[in-house]
Amino acid sequence: MRKEDLIECHGRIVPFIHETPILTSRLLNEIAGADIFFKCENFQRMGAYKMRGATNAISQLTDAQREKGVVTHSSGNFAQALSLAAKSLGVKAYIVMPSSAPQVKKDAVKGYGGTIIECEPTLAARNAMAEEIRSKTGATFIHPSNDLNVIAGQGTACMELLNEQPDLDVVVVPVGGGGLIAGTALAAHYFGKGCSVIGAEPFEVDDAYRSLISGKIESNETTNTIADGLKTELGDKSFPLMQEYVDRIIRVTEEEIVAAMKLIWERMKIVIEPSSAVAFAAVLREKESFKGKKIGIIISGGNVDLKNLPF
């Protein structure tokens, strides 16, 4: 993907997204021993960075494709993002959601105009149902993370961050399906000044960490993490970009995720979801290696189930 592709992508999606604020906290800087700039995608439309990639992917469709709509499978943020992006662009959205998805997320998808089709809570069932809808309706399948148009869209958050803070040493991002970190790594490569990208991942779902070591896409035996947005696995579009442009991945414990999330809620007075806290937890875990540096952190989202807080 070229630098021009990211610039054109940003131009396409700007009318449909928020340019989210970059916040700092003197106290958190003191705790971390570094200067941290939080790119707050929890203030994005529908509450997460995924609005960017969903909007770009739909924008790239032909008129004939738009007529027939789009379909995806997602239990959370991408379901909401594709529904809202489709509504903004006048396109029908079919959303395959596992029956186990929280009601609050199903309600949000309906509120954004998405048509929900429920399936068994397995990846195989999700894929099969999405394929069935695609063949019946002719809708275009858009993968939540393993799609180059989605990846380009996600990279625009880091573009905006570097536009405002061009001399960052490093950007730290949570890793799930790899769409955000792949897009961020491309943006840092093209728009940063020697800015490296580091991923952050729970020990409980450390497939990306293992994948970078083994050189092939690994999967997870269990997904026992509070960071529910990071339970997905890498794809054949996101992984090669990570191999080329991502420095390394830091793993964190569940306790570290909760502590980082609580600190941000208490000190910055903003609502972030557990997946978003993983990046800050990684910086706190490896304070020595980040000491004195200028660090960008992408706060990926703020869609929290308030009935199920970890503190």
DSSP characters over 117-173: EEE-SSHHHHHHHHHHHHHHH-PEE--SSS-HHHHHHHHHHHHHHHHHSTT-SEEEE
Residue in 105, 84, 111, 82 with CA at minimum distance from that of residue 95: 82
144 contacts 71 by C-beta, under 8 angstroms: no
CB 265 within 8 A of CB 295: no
* Helical (H) or strand (E) element with 47: none
Respond yes or no: is residue 50 known to be catalytic.
yes
Q: Which of 83, 238, 275, 300 is catalytic?
A: 300
CATH topology for 51-141 is Rossmann fold (3.40.50)
Write out the residue limits of the CATH 3.40.50.1100 domain(s) in the chain: 3-46+147-308, 51-141
Which CATH number describes the domain made up of 3-46+147-308? 3.40.50.1100
CA 84, 309, 210, 75 dihedral sign is negative
Cα separation of 199 and 181, whole Å?
7
* Contacts with 154 (C-beta within 8 Å, 6 or more apart), sequence order: 49, 50, 52, 53, 179, 180, 182, 183, 184
Q: Which amino acid is at 234?
A: L
pLDDT of 123: 80
**In 206-268, beta strands by DSSP E:** 248-252
Distances (CA, A) of 278 to 63, 163, 169, 222, 311: 39, 24, 19, 18, 16
Distant-in-sequence, close-in-space partners of 169: CB < 8 Å, separation ≥ 6: 194, 195, 196, 293, 294, 295
Q: What are residue 76's DSSP bridge partners?
A: none
Which segments of the chain have a pLDDT < 70? none
Confirm whether 135 is a catalytic residue: no
Query: Which among 175, 176, 220, 167 has a CA at the least distance from the CA of 194?
Result: 167
- Cross-strand partners of 94: 71, 115
In a 13 Å sphere around the CA of 3, the CA atoms on its Cβ side amount to 5
Give the global pTM.
0.95
User: Residue 262: its pLDDT value, please?
Assistant: 97
Specify the amino acid at residue 167: D
* Per-residue confidence (pLDDT) for residue 215, from 0 to 100: 97
CB hemisphere CA count around 75 (13 angstroms): 17
* List of residues 6+ apart from 67 with CB closer than 8 A: none
Per annotation, catalytic residue among 39, 50, 92, 231: 50
Q: Alpha helix (H) ranges present in 143-248?
A: 148-164, 179-191, 207-214, 238-245
Tokens coding 24: 């700092």
Quote the pLDDT of residue 16: 97
